[in-house]
Structure 1
Amino acid sequence: MLLSLLLQAANDMGLAIMGAGIGAGLVALGAGLGIGRIGGTATEAIARQPEASGKIQTAMLISAAFIEGVALFGVVVCLLIATAT
């Protein structure tokens, strides 16, 4: 059932657009997992050493910003590839 839907979507929309959607979804999933892991690890680190919370939070926010930037870049690349073909 799923395969037939994917094949029908490939015929209707084109493989490039379907690939861009899958790529953008994978980028969003990866970014969500990365930021979730950073948040969980930072929370655990702050629980172990509360006196270092300022440094941990700063490092966490910088890392999350870099991940968001890479994720945005990945989504834009996926959309540009879809519109170029």
Structure 2
Amino acid sequence: MKSYMQEQKHKITDNDASFLSTRNKRYVLRIINHYIRKTMLHFEISKWTSYHTFRRTLNTLYKRMGCPKEDRKILFCHKVSDVNFNC
């Protein structure tokens, strides 16, 4: 993940999204939700999951792994100081 984020810093785009398409455009949430649901069905997981659920789960996972709050803010593009980071 660190190498990916370093690579993204050096890309010259007018977009600040963490994950960009091959055309350096932000992914549409509908597409992301489609791939998440497709993956969930593949693994026979029936729980409802969306991009927002996935993002919150990743944030919690990174916190448990010891990732600093400041790095998680950058990774998840939060501009407000303590949004969802007190969990």
Does the alignment reach a TM-score above 0.5?
Answer: no
TM-score by length of 2: 0.29
Name the larger-Rg structure. 1
Give the structure with the larger helix fraction.
Answer: 1
TM-score by length of 1: 0.30
